[in-house]
A and B are shown apart, each in its own frame.
Chain A
Amino acid sequence: MVQTLVSVADAGAPPPANLLPESESIYRMCRETRSVAELSAELKIPMGVTQVLLSDLADQGHVYIHPTITGHSPSENQVLERALRGLERLFQ
Chain B
Amino acid sequence: MDSNVSSNNSSGPASLVSTKIVVAGGFGAGKTTLVSSVSEIPPVSTEAVMTEASREHDDTSITPDKVTTTVAMDFGRLTLDQELIMYMFGTPGQARFWFMWDDIVRGAVGAVIVVDPRRLADSFDAVDYFEKQQSIPYVVALNKFDGQLDYTIEQIREALEIAPEVPIVDFDARDRRSAGGVLTCLLEYAISRPKSGELVG
Contact = CB atoms under 8 A, between A and B. Distances in A.
Contact of A2 (B38, B79, B89): B89
B67 interface: no
B84, B104, B109, B198 interface centre (most CB from chain A within 10 Å): B109
Interface in A50-71: 64, 66-71
Interface range, A side: 35 or more
B17 A11 contact: no
A4 interface: yes
Interface of B: 1, 3-6, 9, 13-14, 16-20, 38, 44-49, 70, 73, 75, 77-81, 84-87, 89, 103-104, 106-110, 135, 176-177, 180-181, 183-184, 187-188, 190-191, 195-198
29 contacts: A2-B87, A5-B16, A5-B17, A7-B13, A7-B16, A11-B3, A12-B3, A32-B5, A32-B6, A35-B77, A37-B44, A37-B87, A40-B46, A46-B47, A46-B49, A66-B14, A66-B18, A68-B18, A68-B19, A70-B107, A72-B135, A72-B195, A72-B197, A74-B197, A79-B84, A82-B81, A87-B187, A91-B176, A91-B177
